[in-house]
Amino acid sequence: MSEDNPPHFFSQLSPLYPKPTEDGKINTVQFLEASKSFIQIYDLMGTTFYVVKKDMSGNIEVKQTVNICGLSINDSFNPFQKLYKTYNKASEKYKYLNDLIYEERNDPSLFAVDALLWLKRALEFTVAFVNGICEEHEKGKKSERIDHLATEAYNQTLKPYHMWLVQNLFKVVVKSISYRSDLVKSLYMGKVGSEDVLYAGCSAYIKHLETNLKIIVQMYDEWGLNNDKKV
Q: Give CA angle at 159 (153, 165), nearest 5°.
A: 130
pTM of the predicted structure, to 2 decimals: 0.86
pLDDT tens digits, residue range 209-231?
999 999 999 999 999 999 988 88
Residue 49 lies in a domain: yes
Domain assignment of residue 141, yes or no: yes
- Count of domains for the chain: 1
Dump pLDDT digits (tens) for 6-25: 999 999 999 999 999 999 99
208-217 b/e with 16+ CB inside 10 Å = b?
bbeebbebbe
Asked if the structure places residue 14 within a domain, the reply is no
- pLDDT confidence of residue 21: 98
In a domain, 229, yes or no: no
For the chain, state the CA radius of gyration.
18
Quote the domain boundaries for residue 94: 21-221
What is the C-alpha to C-alpha distance for residues 165 and 162, in angstroms, rounded to an integer? Answer: 8
Of 86, 89, 66, nearest to 76 by C-alpha is: 66
pLDDT digits (tens, 9 = 90+) for 113-142: 999 998 999 899 999 999 999 999 999 987
- The CA–CA distances, whole Å, from 214 to 37, 124, 208, 209, 210 equal 20, 10, 10, 9, 6
C-alpha atoms less than 13 angstroms from C-alpha of 13 in its C-beta half-sphere: 27
Tell me whether residue 13 is in a domain: no
Q: What is the CATH number of the domain that holds 171?
A: 1.10.3520.10
The answer to whether residue 227 is domain-embedded is no
Judge contact between 119 and 86, C-beta under 8 A: no
